[in-house]
Amino acid sequence: MDQEKRQSIARAERAASTVLRDHGVHGTPINAVKLAEALGYDVYQATFKDGAISGGVNFQKNGGRIYLNQNDSPTRQRFTLAHEIGHCVLHRDKHENGILERIDMFRDPENHSQEEVEANAFAANLLMPEQLVREMWKRWGSTEILADIFKVSLSAMSYRLYNLHLKGDW
């Protein structure tokens, strides 16, 4: 990965930390719905004709509406929500018509545009803040327990631990 990309990921992670701090959202699990609402976005569940859509955001004058595919698992919906909040914070200006999110933005980071990579980095740091993850990993040392504490999927937790060099593989 080149340096410019690494910097934009670091920027996205910092933006997530800043948003959590500015809105006084802390502890586990992170209340992503409350955070979205504090930023002016209402959160709705929806069904899509195309089941490969995991959600989206419709921007309005101030804030907007975030939609989550109600057929997805709760942890998946949570990650989608955090990812959409990332787009709202980082990329809103580039998408005046809103964003529709096709699947597996998480599993396949290599296939995605830089914006998707940034939104995923934002989401990971929002739902699994680095310092908290480090503390909990020290205390519990279990991917399963941390996934439960942070209310994320096992694969998201595993990947986060790998990214923070706490685990050798995922």
Please give the residue ranges that form the binding site for Zn ion (CB under 5 A): 101, 116, 119
Q: How far is the CB of 162 from Zn ion (least distance, A)?
A: 21
Task: Give catalytic residues, as residue numbers.
Answer: 84
Residue 168 sits at φ, ψ, to 5 deg, of -80, -25
- What's the token pair of residue 153? 């999927």
Distances (CA, A) of 109 to 35, 119, 120, 139: 25, 11, 8, 29
Burial class (CB in 10 A: 0-12, 13-18, 19+), 25: middle
Q: How far is the CB of 101 from Zn ion (least distance, A)?
A: 5
Q: How far is the CB of 102 from Zn ion (least distance, A)?
A: 9
Q: Which residue is at the shortest CB distance from Zn ion?
A: 119
- What's the token pair of residue 130? 């680095």
Of 72 and 101, the one with the shorter C-beta distance to Zn ion is 101
Of 108 and 135, the one with the shorter C-beta distance to Zn ion is 108
Of 72 and 116, the one with the shorter C-beta distance to Zn ion is 116
